[in-house]
Amino acid sequence: LPDEAKRFATITEEFQTISSKMFQAKTAVKATHLRAPPFLLNRFNRMDERLELIQRALEIYLETKRQLFPRFYFISNDDMLEILGNAKRPDLVQTHLKKLFDNLYKLELKRVGKTLNRWQGSGMYSDDGEFVEFQQALYIDGPSERWLRQVEEYMFTVMKELLKLTRRSLKKLIGNREKWIFLWPGQMVLTTAQIQWTTECTRSLIHCNMVDQKKPLRKLKRKQIKVLSKLSEMSRKELTKIMRL
């Protein structure tokens, strides 16, 4: 918005000039009668009209950015301007990430390049301090909306792949469920456990219908009680904050 920036600078200069003269006048009567009324009123009204035009241009500009990265709709114009203004400083954008992404606290960042003028992201932290590593390095460059969209894509990709691996691991699991729980990120463990529970319940109900007996469902109930007992036992042990979550 170069044109609007120039207009805003001009208005700012005008206002500072008027304010300086009003300050030097010392009294309210003299300050408001620097020129015959309603000179100041008309001057301020014109300045206000020009500011409204600048505001509308800014709203249009921000709307185009929000269409490119819809998560910008979650935040205020002030926050958005701060993000856009610090496109090359992702370390300063970190504080706004939790407003854009649910439970994303920060990215693991480091400076790279011969002159350390570029940023690279290697993973992400949740609010609870749990770390998930990206499958490949994320090079942060260009407009904020572009690299934030890349963060979103990397997040979807790594979580999708982790869910596949966690499910595969549970299917192959024999015995030690405690080790499996601590091996994978919490969200993946919870989601996989829910998928597995739903799948087993569905299969048991279908089996009950086929044999016209409730035995398969009773068998599943005994299995789930054992799982819950194991979880209850684990919760009484000394665990780290992340493990307890």
Is residue 162, in this structure, part of any structural domain at all?
Answer: no
**Bridge partners, 106 (sequence order):** 125
Q: Which residues of the chain register pLDDT less than 50?
A: none
- Cα separation, 18 vs 15, in Å, equals 5
Is residue 186, in this structure, part of any structural domain at all?
Answer: yes
pLDDT, one tens digit per residue, over 191-218 is 999 999 999 999 999 999 888 888 888 9
Range of the domain at 36: 2-68
- Cα separation, 106 vs 129, in Å, equals 9
pLDDT, one tens digit per residue, over 133-176 is 999 999 998 999 999 999 999 999 999 999 999 999 988 876 67
User: What Å distances lie between residue 52 and 7, 80, 82, 208, CA to CA?
Assistant: 11, 19, 21, 70
- Angle made by CA atoms 130, 133, 137, in degrees to the nearest 5: 145
User: What Å distances lie between residue 146 and 88, 138, 238, CA to CA?
Assistant: 12, 12, 43
232 in the same domain as 195? yes
User: Given this model, what pLDDT does residue 174 score?
Assistant: 67
213 in the same domain as 189? yes
Q: Is residue 204 a contact partner of residue 220, using CB atoms and an 8 Å limit? A: yes
134 SS3 class: strand
Q: What is the CATH number of the domain that holds 128?
A: 3.20.180.20
In the chain, the number of structural domains is 3
76 in the same domain as 32? no
